[in-house]
Structure 1
Amino acid sequence: MNSYSSRWGELTRSKLFWPSVGLLLLMVFNFFFTPGFFEISIQNGHLYGSLIDILNRGTPLIIIALGMTLVIAKEGIDISVGSILAIAASLAAYLMQQHVPFGLALLAGLAAGLLCGLWNGYLVARLKIQPMIATLILLTVGRGIAQLISGGQIITISNPAYRFVGGGYVLGIPFAVILAAVLFILLYLLMRRTALGLFLESVGANRVSSAYAGIHSTRIMTLVYVISGFCAALAGIIISSNITGADSNNAGLWIELDAILAVVIGGTSMRGGRFYLGGTVLGALFIQALSTTIYTLGVPPESVMVVKAVVVIAVSLMQSDAFRSMFRNGLRSRTRKKVLAHEAAS
């Protein structure tokens, strides 16, 4: 019995446990209340269904959240990812509108994300500006830059190769999902099969001690912002490809908030240190599944954010060791009072 309790305690303390439970509960809810939710069909060689839609529509959030995980792991934040997304998408779409080859336009959009990430990293790592303030600059200015590139208009693109990035399929699987999977594997190998991940966790836990240990914290901090910028640019091109155009005003609007939520739900602490890329993917899928469920049930649009907030708060509380301890202590206290009352009555 003690062995069972010990294993259960270890399981519930896992950072992947509670986001997995939250996602599982959503799936169970949809099984009973959303007809056809688990049906997957093949049309023209492509997979279709609600589960495929969750994966496909959640891909940009997963990609951005993966980059955000590394930034938060070093005790930072990047609230400019939505604006970087808009800049990259607008630049790539504009260049293709000017008959620039697809490959060059795509590289230009990704390079814009890298430059934006380098700018954020320079402000935070070199100039020692607080991450919230440093990335707030690009959050504010970035949308304006994107609108200058697009001329304040939605740029429409008819390039088949560009449409394939966000809307194409490979062996029936959305190509965007494959891109997200490849990015996850690359980041996992980079962070868990090299010393870089250990250095990042060390810098996030204690930057001063890391410096004394010989870790170049400035380079680590700059690198994670560059990766975050690249991820935002890639997500922007995927979103732009999905709608076959670039909307500099609305593309990726407030996606940074969902990305931060996905990271936190996935178990990565805002105080830096340990990070969990797998947990971030679960957190992003949970948020996208929740959004899909809410819209499928016909919840009024003005209530969506409230419902999402309540569910996310519940999952976050269950993930908190302090809250679970308080909850267990409360149950024990009530049980003890009932036992004492029963003994007094008898």
Structure 2
Amino acid sequence: MNQVIRHRLFWPALILVLLLAVNVVFTDGFLSVEMKGGHLYGSLIDIIRFGAPLILVAIGMTLVIATGGIDLSVGSVVAISGALACLQISGLEDQNAVGGVLTAIGLALALSLVLGVWNGFLVAGIGIQPIIATLILMVAGRGVAQLITDGQIITINSTPYKLVGGGYWLTVPFGILIVLVVLAVTAFLTRRLALGLLIESVGGNAEASRLAGIRSRGLIILVYTFCGLCAGIAGLMISSNISSADGNAAGLWIELDAILAVVIGGTSLVGGRFSLGGTVLGALIIQTLTTTIYSIGVPPETTLLFKALVIVLVCLLQSPTFRAKVFRRRERGRPAAPSSGTDAKVRIPA
């Protein structure tokens, strides 16, 4: 039992179960999943579907943080990706033309990759601190998204594009399938191959990794590029779900939720070992918390404060030091004080 409690995924899983239990109390039929029109419907399906963009961004953020970096620009990349795709589709004579939609998606993802490479170049190539390097694109990216949309909300009516974030395939929301594919590929590359070990090595000590023959600069550029790609896909999903692009509001503050998801999942912000499973749990906790806030009727003006308090509580429960102080748990391996009886031995120096 103690080994289960000490597992780094135990507390995130417990918090998620507790949040689901609260929703069961306040929402009738919360756990029910039913088939309507050949599609799966239910509150649990909605949590995963609406949380899919955050999961994608958090997966990319996990690898960036594992190298000891941070990416504050993912929200802007989300806005840019969705804006460019919707702009291209709005200019088509037939918005339902699959070829034109695929071209728009390809252009948006290509630009997302370029933005990721730009962040990686600033961090690894020039040596700018990650928080500053990505802050540049975080600020400027919103302006780029506004330029693409000309400060307006671009509305489209494209059935093929609607599939990306709001459609269904094999009875399951297509966005969930995208997340599963990205997660499976990422897990394979980082856990079945040496890539994950190299990333953790760079995050632990980039200079020592370089001296050991690891191309740390190339790896850092790679993870920022991948993070940009994940944010670009998330931008497509968000704009597809609402069939419009808002350069100002799309992806707003999603970078903070992604960082929180990574931290809740047990990945250290100083770099090194990371947990993709923990990140997914963290993202689901944040999305479930949002659902819980609406289900229990928290006033809108206090929503952000309530959310912040719960997240602080989650982080504290994950801290071994905090739990040891609160529950007065003795550190494992700490020698017990000698008894005052006759069995106590006193060593006299020679």
Name the structure 2 match of 1:296. 295
* 1:275-290 mapped onto 2 (5 Å cutoff): 275-290=274-289
1:109 aligns with 2:108: yes
Give the structure-2-normalised TM-score: 0.91
For residue 78 of structure 1, the aligned residue among 71, 82, 87 is 71
Question: What's the CA shift for 1:28?
Answer: 1.5
Equivalent position amino acid for 1:169 in 2? Y
- TM-superposed deviation, 1:331: 9.5
Mean CA deviation greater in 28-37 or 228-237: 28-37
Q: Are positions 1:256 and 2:246 aligned together?
A: no
**Contact 2:264/2:282 (8 A) holds in 1:** yes
> What residue is the counterpart of 1:132 in the other structure?
131
Separation (CA, whole Å) in 2 of partners of 1:330 and 1:87: 49
Q: Per-residue CA shift, 1:178-198, capped at 9, x if unaligned?
A: 000110000000100111100
2:207 partner letter: V
Q: Identify the residue that residue 219 of structure 2 maps to in structure 1.
A: 220
Q: In structure 1, what is the Cα distance between the partners aligned to 2:113 and 2:23?
A: 39
Maintained 8 Å contact 2:239/2:245? yes
Instruction: State which of 19, 23, 28 in structure 2 corresponds to 1:26.
Output: 19
Matched, 1:65 2:64: no
2-structure distance, mates of 1:331, 1:205? 29
Distance in 2 between the 1:214 and 1:328 partners?
A: 46
**Deviations 1:278-312 (CA, angstroms, capped at 9, x unpaired):** 00000000100010011122211121111111111
Please give the alpha-carbon distance, in whole angstroms, between the structure 2 residues aligned to 1:243 and 1:33. 28
Cα distance in 2 between the residues matched to 1:300 and 1:230: 36
Residue 90 (str. 1) matches residue 89 (str. 2): no
What is the SS of the residue equivalent to 1:15? coil
Q: Distance in 1 between matches of 2:296 and 2:18?
A: 16
Aligned partner of 1:146 in structure 2 is: 145
Query: Are the structure 2 counterparts of residues 238 and 120 from structure 1 closer, same or farther at C-alpha, using a change threshold of 3 Å?
Result: same
Matched residue of 1:42: which SS?
strand
- How far off its partner does 1:313 sit? 1.0
TM-score, reference length from structure 1: 0.92
1:256-335 mapped onto 2 (5 Å cutoff): 256-329=255-328
Mapped to 1, the partners of 2:5 and 2:221 lie a distance apart of 34
Q: Aligned partners of 1:132, 1:229: CA distance in 2, in Å? A: 15
Q: What secondary structure does 2:267 align onto?
A: coil
Pairwise CA RMSD: 1.3
User: In structure 1, which of residues 35, 40, 43 is the aligned counterpart of residue 36 of structure 2?
Assistant: 43
> Contact conserved, 2:67 with 2:200, CA < 8 A, in 1?
yes
- Distance in 2, matches of 1:330 and 1:215, equals 41
CA contact (8 A) 2:26 2:295 kept: no
Cα distance between partner residues in 2 of 1:114 and 1:17: 35
Structure 1 residues 326, 93: CA separation in 2 closer, same or farther (over 3 Å shift)? same
Partner of 2:328, secondary structure, is: helix
Counterparts of 2:207 and 2:116, CA distance in 1: 23
The superposition leaves residues 91-131 of structure 1 with CA deviations (integer Å, 9 ceiling, x where unpaired) of: 11111112281111100010111011000000000111000
Instruction: Report the Cα offset of residue 9 of structure 1.
Output: 2.7
CA distance in structure 1 between the partners assigned to 2:300 and 2:115 by the alignment: 33
Please, which runs of 5 or more residues in structure 2 have no aligned partner? 93-98, 332-350
Q: Which amino acid aligns with 2:317?
A: M
Helix, strand or coil at the partner of 1:47: strand
Give, in whole Å, the separation in 2 of the partners of 1:203 and 1:216: 9
User: Whole-Å Cα distance in 2 between the matches of residues 298 and 46 of structure 1?
Assistant: 29
SS state of the match for residue 101, structure 1? helix
- CA deviation after TM superposition for structure 1 residue 172, in Å: 1.4
Structure 2 equivalent of residue 53 of structure 1: 46
| Alpha-carbon distance in 2 for matches of 1:262, 1:221 | 21
Q: Report the Cα offset of residue 158 of structure 1.
A: 1.0
8 Å contact kept, 2:324–2:330: no
d(CA) in 1 for partners of 2:186, 2:284:
18
Cα offsets for 1:206-263 (capped at 9, x unmatched)? 1111111111100011000000000000000000000001111100100101000000
- What SS is found at the alignment partner of 2:35? strand
